[in-house]
A and B are shown apart, each in its own frame.
Chain A
Amino acid sequence: SAVISQKPSRDICQRGTSLTIQCQVDSQVTMMFWYRQQPGQSLTLIATANQGSEATYESGFVIDKFPISRPNLTFSTLTVSNLSPEDSSIYLCSVGSGRQGNEQFFGPGTRLTVL
Chain B
Amino acid sequence: AQSVAQPEDQVNVAEGNPLTVKCTYSVSGNPYLFWYVQYPNRGLQFLLKYITGDNLVKGSYGFEAEFNKSQTSFHLKKPSALVSDSALYFCAVRANSGYSTLTFGKGTMLLVSP
State the total of A-B contacts with C-beta under 8 angstroms.
48
Cα–Cα distance between A107 and B100 once the two chains are bound (Å)? 21
A106 contacts B by Cβ under 8 Å: yes
Does the CB pair B46–A103 fall under 8 Å?
yes
Cα–Cα distance between A24 and B79 once the two chains are bound (Å)? 37
Interface residues on A, range: 20 to 34
A53 contacts B by Cβ under 8 Å: no
Choose among A48, A58, A101, A108 the residue that contacts B43 (Cβ–Cβ < 8 A).
Answer: A108
Number of B interface residues in the complex (CB < 8 A): 24
List residues 60-115 of chain A with CB under 8 A from any CB of chain B: 92, 94, 100-101, 103-109, 111
Find chain B residues with CB under 8 A from A111 CB.
41
Does the CB pair A92–B32 fall under 8 Å?
no
List residues 1-28 of chain A with CB under 8 A from any CB of chain B: 1, 4
Interface of B is mostly: loop
Does the CB pair A43–B90 fall under 8 Å?
yes
Does the CB pair B101–A45 fall under 8 Å?
yes
Choose among A4, A42, A94, A108 the residue that contacts B107 (Cβ–Cβ < 8 A).
Answer: A42
Choose among A1, A41, A58, A100 the residue that contacts B94 (Cβ–Cβ < 8 A).
Answer: A100
Find chain B residues with CB under 8 A from A58 CB.
101
Known: A42-B105, A43-B90. A100 touches B46 (CB 8 A): no
- Shortest beta-carbon distance, B7 to chain A, in Å? 14
B106 contacts A by Cβ under 8 Å: yes
- Shortest beta-carbon distance, B26 to chain A, in Å? 15
Q: Which 9 A-B pairs have the closest CB atoms?
A: A106-B43, A106-B44, A108-B43, A42-B106, A101-B51, A43-B104, A103-B46, A42-B104, A109-B43
CB-defined A-B contacts under 8 Å, sample of 14: A4-B43, A33-B101, A45-B102, A94-B44, A100-B32, A100-B97, A100-B100, A101-B49, A101-B51, A101-B52, A103-B34, A104-B102, A107-B43, A108-B41
A residues lining the B interface (CB < 8 Å): 1, 4, 33, 41-43, 45, 48, 58, 92, 94, 100-101, 103-109, 111
